[in-house]
Amino acid sequence: MTRSTHEAGPNIFPALRYRDARAAVEWLAGTFGFEERLVVPGPDGAVVHAEMGFGPGVIMLGSAGDAGATKGGIYVYVEDVDAHHERARAAGAEIVRELAETDYGSREYSARDPEGHSWSFGTYLPGPPKT
């Protein structure tokens, strides 16, 4: 039986960007006790995507790259990201990263709210802790 998103766990996740994401992963693990769950390496030592767990909670992070001015935001899993994207665009949202497939298997886009916060929506749902 397939569980709904609500039953499966959270669908909203903090997402952070670091100049040195690899060092951030190590620091968060050693300093705060976060568990490294997934690190997707990129070119030149960058981190394309990483997930760190703390109990049942998950944060996502990666190298700043093109989003150098953005230090963090919110990532929201949605089942139908195409419809969600169209709704946001029709409502006048400032789309800052167009809807696209990612290297880590998600289809997603990013928008900025009226106060400048970054919001990303996509089909990627971080997994449960490693056992």
pLDDT digits (tens, 9 = 90+) for 71-97: 788 999 999 999 999 999 999 999 999
The pLDDT value recorded for residue 104 is 78
Provide the Cα torsion 61, 65, 68, 70; round to 10°. -40
| pLDDT mean for each 10 residues of the chain (131 residues) | 52 90 92 91 91 90 72 89 95 94 90 84 81 59
The pLDDT value recorded for residue 68 is 53
Q: Measured between alpha carbons, how far is 39 from 28 in angstroms, rounded to an integer? A: 13
Q: Measured between alpha carbons, how far is 35 from 10 in angstroms, rounded to an integer? A: 18
The pLDDT value recorded for residue 103 is 80
Task: Bin 3: left if φ > 0, else alpha if -120 < ψ < 50, else beta.
Answer: beta
Neighbour count for residue 28 (Cβ, 10 Å): 20
The pLDDT value recorded for residue 70 is 61
Multiple choice CATH, 5-122, 3.10.250.10, 3.10.180.10, 3.30.750.200, 3.40.50.700: 3.10.180.10
